[in-house]
């Protein structure tokens, strides 16, 4: 009984945290978008507009909850909750620290994939029950897209599972290390491919640009949430931004070493003689930093790229990502058979890949500065200028 109450309280805290994070992310996204588009963004409510999301929440609650006359009311009502529930449930096995997690599921990644596929039903029901053709098209596009992109995502996950020998998140994190050389993303070429597959497929599953065709506002008005208003609409949005956190956290866990922040210290195996609580907190913060870095990357992509057409979207999935994923999942098996971990070749490959990554980042920085020089633009790194 106590256990049950503990579970209940813990999930309530998680729920509130997720809602809060999603809310703040709406603000952050608008600030970043504003900076990218030479405007300011919300800066009126609270210090630098930080409380804007609360104002939006209050406004959303006050709005009339419109249910279209010919809609299937029951399904129309429950659809946003189904979607939000699906996104929230994906958070369950994600380890924000060695102990900061809801449930250390043995089938962690598998569970996350299952929940992601479950969200589709909510979107489809929402689109269909609105009795609006734009919504219906949006819902159907969403379903087609998500089902397709589950395969490359699963192939990316598959490679990680083979590398770490487990579907448990803690063990996946433990199989990596704190330094970039130990991360799965730079471990060998196939895991690097797996990272790209998974990240791109996650963008598609999260309906983010350039894969936001289910709610393409210039084509489908607003897609599956066209008819929603007020609080139900906010639930769709909370789910979308909550999904950002989930994507960031998954990528961090699976490819970027999770919360292991100290070299030779791995998240689930605290070294003896060190205060576990301090390390727990530091690891948690380090995890959050990485997560929000990827959230930032996703937002950045959203405000930069145009949107794909649906046949191009399917082409990318079935003609490129799935074959590449299949080949690399074969490749990883061969690699692991012939090149044992920590052998010389393995170390050389790791170091090369890591330095290639570093060079890419530096080159990118150089290009940014070059372009800034050409256009004589001024850069404000601080978004609160």
Partner 1 sequence: MKDAIFILVAVFAVGGALLTAASQSIINAALGLLLSLISIAALYIFQSADFVAISQILVYVGGVMVLLLFSIMLSSGSTDFFKNNPAMKVFPALLIVVVFAGLAIYALFSANLTFYPGQYGPSTREIGNLFLKDYILVFELVSVLIVVMLVGAGVMLRKELVRKAVASDGDSKDEKENKK
Partner 2 sequence: MITENDLQSRVEITPINGSEIEINMGPHHPSTHGVIRFILFLDGEIVVRAVADVGYLHRSIEKIAENLPYPMFMPYTDRVDYVAAINCNLGYALAVESLAGLEVPERATWLRMIGAELNRINSHLIAVGALAMDVGATTPFVHAIREREYILDLLEILTGTRMNNNYVRFGGVCQDVPEDFFKKTEKFLDHFVLFLGEFNRLLTTNKIFLERLINVGILTGDQALGFSFSGPNLRASGVGHDLRRIDPYCFYSDMEFSVPVGSGVKGTTGDSFDRFIVRIDEMLESVKILRQIMSKIKEGPIQSKIPRKIVLPAGESYHRSEAPRGELGFHIVSDGKSNMPYRIKIRTGSFAAMTSLSELFKGMMVADVVAYFASLDVVAPEVDR
Q: How many CB atoms lie within 10 A of CB 20?
A: 12
The yes or no reply on residue 67 touching partner 1 (CB under 8 A) is no
Cα–Cα distance, 157 to 86 (Å, whole number): 19
The enclosing H or E element of 337 equals helix 322-338
Considering only the stretches 107-115, 198-206, 268-276, 333-341, report the one whose residues sit in contact with partner 1 under the rule CB under 8 A: 107-115
Query: CB atoms < 10 A from the CB of 59, how many?
Result: 11
Which of 79, 113, 234, 245 is close enough to bind partner 1 by CB under 8 A? 113
Q: Cβ contacts of residue 142 below 8 Å, gap of 6+? A: 120, 123, 124, 127, 207, 214, 223, 224
Residue 110 binding target from partner 2, partner 1, none, CB below 5 to 8 Å by type: partner 1
Site string for partner 1, 131-170 (x = CB under 8 A): x----x--xx--x---x--x----------------x---
Nearer to partner 2, 290 or 302 (CB): 302
Segment interacting with partner 1 (CB under 8 A) among 33-41, 114-122, 178-186, 299-307: 114-122
- Which residue in this structure is represented by tokens 């490129």? 320
Omega prior to 7 cis, within 30 of 0: no
Q: Which of 191, 197, 198, 196 has the alpha carbon at shortest distance from 335?
A: 191
Query: Which does residue 66 bind out of partner 2, partner 1, none, counting CB within 5 to 8 angstroms by kind?
Result: none
Structure tokens at 343: 């052998």
Contact 307, 216 (CB under 8 A): yes
Candidates 79, 75, 105; CA nearest to 90 is 105
Closest CA to 142 of 223, 219, 214, 216: 214
CB of 60 vs partner 1, minimal distance in Å: 27
Residue 371 CB, nearest approach to partner 2 (Å): 7
Footprint (CB under 8 A) of partner 2, residues 307-326 = 307-312
Binding flag, residue 298, partner 2 (CB under 8 A):
no
Query: What mask, x for binding partner 1 by CB under 8 A, covers residues 232 to 271?
Result: ----------------------------------------
Binding site for partner 1 (CB under 8 A): 1, 4, 72, 75, 105-107, 110-111, 113-118, 120-121, 124-125, 128, 131, 136, 139-140, 143, 147, 150, 167, 311
Binding site for partner 2 (CB under 8 A): 33, 36-39, 133-134, 137, 209-210, 212-213, 216-221, 303-312, 371, 374-377
């Amino acid at each position: 009984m106590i256990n049950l109450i503990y579970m209940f309280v813990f999930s309530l805290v998680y729920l509130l945290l997720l809602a809060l994070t999603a809310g703040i992310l709406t603000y952050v996204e608008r600030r970043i978008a504003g900076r990218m588009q030479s405007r300011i963004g919300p800066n009126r409510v609270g210090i630098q507009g930080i409380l804007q999301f609360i104002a939006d929440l209050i406004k959303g609650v006050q709005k009339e909850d419109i249910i279209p006359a010919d809609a299937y009311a029951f399904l129309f009502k429950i659809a946003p909750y189904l979607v939000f529930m699906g996104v929230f449930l994906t958070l369950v096995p994600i380890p924000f620290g060695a102990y900061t997690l809801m449930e250390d599921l043995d089938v962690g990644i598998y569970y996350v994939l299952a929940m992601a596929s479950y969200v589709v039903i909510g979107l489809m029901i929402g689109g269909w029950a609105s009795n609006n053709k734009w919504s219906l098209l949006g819902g159907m596009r969403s379903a087609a897209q998500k089902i397709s992109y589950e395969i490359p995502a699963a192939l990316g996950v598959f490679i990680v599972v083979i590398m770490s020998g487990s579907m448990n998140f803690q063990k996946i994190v433990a199989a990596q290390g704190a330094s970039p050389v130990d991360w799965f993303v730079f471990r060998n070429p196939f895991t690097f491919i797996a990272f790209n597959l998974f990240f791109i497929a996650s963008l598609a599953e999260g309906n983010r640009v350039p894969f936001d065709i289910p709610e393409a506002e210039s084509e489908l008005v607003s897609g599956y949430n066209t008819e929603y208003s007020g609080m139900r609409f906010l639930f769709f949005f909370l789910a979308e931004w909550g999904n950002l956190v989930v994507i960031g956290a998954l990528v961090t866990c699976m490819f970027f070493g999770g919360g292991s922040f100290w070299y030779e210290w791995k998240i689930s195996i605290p070294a003896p003689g060190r205060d576990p609580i301090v390390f727990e907190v530091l690891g948690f913060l380090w995890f959050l930093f990485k997560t929000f870095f990827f959230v930032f990357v996703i937002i950045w992509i959203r405000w930069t790229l145009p949107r794909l057409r649906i046949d191009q979207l399917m082409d990318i999935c079935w003609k490129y990502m799935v074959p590449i994923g299949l080949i690399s999942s074969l490749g990883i098996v061969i690699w692991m058979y012939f090149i044992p971990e920590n052998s010389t070749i393995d170390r050389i490959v790791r170091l090369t890949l890591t330095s290639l990554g570093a060079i890419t980042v530096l080159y990118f920085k150089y290009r940014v500065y070059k372009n800034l020089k050409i256009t004589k633009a001024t850069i404000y790194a601080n978004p609160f200028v």
